[in-house]
């Protein structure tokens, strides 16, 4: 068993008593011991059967009675029926503080406006729908570095957070401007039953040529020559997106700092041609309105985030997991492409940064566990939890999961863990101008289809237009104290 909730209240009363006797305004303490859950779990951090050692010096608690201002990105985080427990649980664990739920701030632009108005939250949960809000937050100094908190906190720190995931979140200047409660990692999923019916071996493809060969063999046509089943479905398309393929090659369209576009390199052209072959494979045989989906059993393979695995297991699909295949002539070990998805941090100039950190640790631990547990209870035996970044919380989730998972779901869990243990994570750099890059790419893709532009001109056009926009952005950032030496490491403002 772990430290009970009552220790929290005892600690809070101790603070109040100390304030009354000494007029102190704050105290050191443990910001992240857990309450006992009331639904069949023994989660937490310290086993009450063992001697309890004195807690190491940690982050000072916020001033008793202070307000912690919290803002989320909006959308599903703002659904009261699903996420009121985030705040209710926090208030129960920390009754000595006020929690204020601010209006949603969906983008880093909204956060910037709140900072400029002096109305920034103490905690902000960002979502990288363009994989860029973290980069924007760091370059434009919207978020405080968390290094000091990570060095001093006794429970959420460099020792208890997954080191590979932390490598993804370390900015090039060595700072961490946010932390993920869970991360998104991409793997190849393949339908074992569909493979067997199509005469394919009981294994996933290992190279690009095998992916094409297997995909062709998986296609099924009706009497009209239209496809009722395809070989591959990737996030709404019938072939892998470029962004899904490139990270598996340890490369991307951007330089090491996520700034300059390098679209005209040979590997980018090769990946484009490869992705096009998937689209060409079923060009003209798609049924209008028909859904080609791995989870619906109408596609044999997909590149999926690990967070999507629950939908496959709940659908009863017998699927396998594997690293994403790579070109035939590339003999390097495979990697797992990983992205920064939802992350929390403390906005620059926050009025109560200690309160922001306390809420961040709450999200990293209690909220992460509760979300996973609630998903598993809604779909008993089949739901697969997300990959938590905080290792003690991950272990706590695993204990709860294995106690109620059915045999097949438990097998998938162990298969997933094996891939993590044997295949390194890889995260490509995100541009703070990723939204502009996406719009520019879409515009040039339309031109390519309408005007018959060659692949090389298509890629060169994207690169030139984006880099022109980038130069304008860099001039603005230089006005804020940044230096961008040609071909060198960007230098942050010194103040």
Question: Does residue 359 belong to any structural domain of this protein?
Answer: yes
Q: Are residues 227 and 297 in contact, defined by beta-carbon separation less than 8 angstroms?
A: no
The full length of the chain comes to 495
Q: Which two tokens stand for residue 9?
A: 């209240």
> Residue 77's pLDDT is what?
66
- Residue 313 shares a structural domain with residue 353: no
Question: Which stretch of DSSP H or E encloses residue 245?
Answer: helix 242-245
**Alpha-helix residue ranges (DSSP H) falling in 379-454:** 391-404, 407-422, 434-451
Q: Do 168 and 143 lie in a common domain? A: yes
* Residue with tokens 């980069």, as numbered in its chain: 135
39: exposed, middle or buried (C-beta count within 10 Å: 0-12, 13-18, 19+)? exposed
Who's near 247: CB < 8 A, 6+ residues apart?
Answer: 186, 335, 337, 338, 426, 427, 428
Are residues 453 and 386 part of one domain? no
Domain for residue 485, yes or no? no
Do residue 309 and residue 413 come from a single domain? no
Based on the fold, state whether residues 77 and 205 are members of the same structural domain: no
d(CA 150, CA 208): 41
- CATH number of 358's domain: 3.40.190.10
* C-alpha 168: how far from chain center: 10
The answer to whether the Cα torsion of 80, 85, 86, 91 is positive or negative is positive
491 in a structural domain: no
The residue among 274, 308, 277, 276 whose CA lies nearest residue 293 is 308
Torsions phi, psi of 216, nearest 5? -65, -40
Sort residue 198 into left (φ over 0), alpha (ψ -120 to 50) or beta.
Answer: alpha
Phi-psi region of 118 (alpha: psi -120 to 50; beta: other; left: phi over 0): left
389 occurs within a structural domain: yes
Look at residue 81 and tell me if it is in a domain: yes
Q: Identify whether residues 56 and 78 lie together within a single domain.
A: yes
Q: What is the pLDDT of residue 133?
A: 86
- Residues 483, 315: Cα–Cα separation, whole Å: 52
Residues 167, 37 share a domain: yes
- Give CA–CA dist 179/171, Å, rounded: 12
Count Cβ atoms below 10 Å from residue 151 Cβ, excluding itself: 10
Integer angstrom CA distances of residue 463 from 219, 458, 471, 472, 483: 35, 9, 12, 15, 22
Place of tokens 């060969």: 213
Cβ atoms of 361 and 153 within 8 Å: the answer is yes
158 lies in the same domain as 199: no
DSSP element (H, E) containing 127: strand 123-127
Q: Is the residue at 55 inside a domain?
A: yes
**Structure tokens belonging to residue 82:** 């699903």
Owning domain of residue 461: 434-478
190, 270, 439 from 443: Cα distances, Å = 33, 21, 6
Question: Quick one: 38 and 154 in the same domain?
Answer: yes
Among the candidates 305, 339, 373, a domain finishes at 339
CA distance 63 to 98: 10
User: Which residues fall within 8 angstroms of residue 390, CB to CB, at 6 or more apart?
Assistant: 156, 160, 161, 162, 181, 364, 365, 368
Give me the residue label for tokens 């950190």.
357
Which residues are bridge partners to 123 per DSSP? Answer: 70
Does residue 320 share a domain with residue 449? no
CB 426 within 8 Å of CB 250: yes
Is residue 361 located within the same domain as residue 377?
Answer: yes
**Which of 322, 339, 356 is where one domain is finished?**
339
Q: What is the mean pLDDT of each run of 10 residues along the chain (495 residues)?
A: 36 34 34 35 35 52 90 75 84 93 88 95 84 86 95 95 92 93 88 97 95 96 95 70 85 90 93 90 89 91 88 91 92 88 92 96 94 90 91 96 93 92 88 91 92 94 97 95 91 86
- DSSP, collapsed to helix, strand or coil, labels residue 137 as helix
Q: Is residue 275 part of a domain?
A: yes
Integer Cα distance of 40 and 187 in angstroms: 32
d(CA 495, CA 489): 18
Q: Are 144 and 129 in contact (CB under 8 A)?
A: no
Q: Are residues 157 and 193 in the same domain?
A: no
So what's the pLDDT on residue 19? 31
Q: Which two tokens stand for residue 216?
A: 């062709």
pTM summary value = 0.83
> How many domains is the chain partitioned into structurally?
3
Which residue, of 395, 422, 449, is where some domain finishes?
422
DSSP 339-358: E--EEEE-BTT-S-HHHHHH
The closest alpha carbon to 393, from 364, 373, 413, 362, belongs to 364
CA nearest neighbour of 260 among 480, 491, 463: 463
């Amino acid at each position: 068993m772990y430290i009970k909730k009552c220790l929290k209240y005892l600690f809070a009363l101790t603070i109040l008593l100390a304030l009354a006797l000494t007029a102190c305004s704050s105290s050191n303490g443990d910001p992240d011991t857990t309450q006992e859950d009331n639904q069949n779990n023994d989660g937490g951090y310290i086993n009450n059967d063992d001697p309890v050692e004195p807690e190491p010096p940690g982050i000072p608690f916020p001033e008793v009675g202070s307000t912690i201002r919290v803002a989320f990105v909006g959308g599903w985080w703002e659904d009261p029926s699903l996420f009121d427990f985030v705040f209710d649980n926090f208030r129960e664990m920390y009754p000595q503080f006020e929690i204020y739920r601010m209006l949603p701030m969906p983008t880093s632009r909204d956060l910037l406006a709140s900072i400029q108005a002096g109305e920034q939250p103490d905690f902000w949960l960002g979502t990288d729908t363009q994989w860029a809000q973290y980069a924007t937050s760091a370059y434009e100094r919207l978020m405080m570095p968390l290094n000091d908190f990570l060095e001093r906190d006794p429970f959420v720190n460099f020792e208890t957070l997954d080191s590979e995931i932390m490598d993804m979140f370390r900015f090039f200047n060595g700072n961490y401007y946010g932390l993920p409660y869970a991360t998104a990692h991409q793997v190849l999923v393949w339908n074992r039953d569909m493979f067997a019916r199509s005469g394919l071996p009981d294994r996933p493809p290992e190279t690009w040529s095998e992916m094409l060969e297997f995909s062709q063999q998986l296609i099924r046509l009706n009497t009209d020559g239209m496809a009722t089943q395809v070989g591959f479905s990737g996030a709404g398309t019938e072939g892998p997106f470029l962004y899904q393929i490139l990270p598996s090659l340890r490369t991307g369209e951007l330089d090491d700092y996520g700034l300059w576009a390098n679209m005209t390199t040979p590997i980018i052209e090769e990946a484009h041609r490869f992705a096009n072959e998937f689209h060409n494979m079923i060009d003209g045989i798609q049924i209008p309105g028909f859904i080609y989906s791995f989870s619906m059993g109408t596609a044999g393979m997909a590149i999926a985030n690990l967070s999507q695995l629950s939908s496959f297991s709940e659908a009863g699909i017998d699927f396998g997991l594997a690293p994403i295949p790579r070109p035939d002539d590339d003999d390097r070990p495979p990697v797992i492409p990983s992205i920064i998805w939802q992350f929390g941090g403390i906005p620059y100039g926050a009025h109560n940064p200690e309160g922001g950190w306390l809420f961040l640790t709450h999200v990293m631990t209690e909220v992460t566990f509760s979300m996973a547990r609630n998903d598993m209870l809604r779909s008993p035996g089949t739901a697969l939890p997300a990959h938590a970044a905080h290792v003690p919380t991950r272990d706590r989730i695993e204990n709860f999961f294995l106690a109620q998972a059915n045999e097949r779901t438990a097998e998938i869990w162990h298969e997933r863990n094996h891939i993590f243990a044997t295949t390194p994570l890889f995260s490509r750099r995100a541009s703070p101008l990723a939204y502009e890059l996406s719009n520019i790419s879409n515009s040039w893709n339309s031109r390519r289809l309408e005007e018959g532009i060659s692949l090389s001109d298509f890629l060169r056009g994207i690169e030139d237009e984006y880099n022109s926009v980038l130069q304008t952005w860099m001039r603005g950032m230089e006005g804020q104290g940044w230096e961008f030496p040609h071909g060198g490491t960007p230098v942050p403002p010194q103040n």
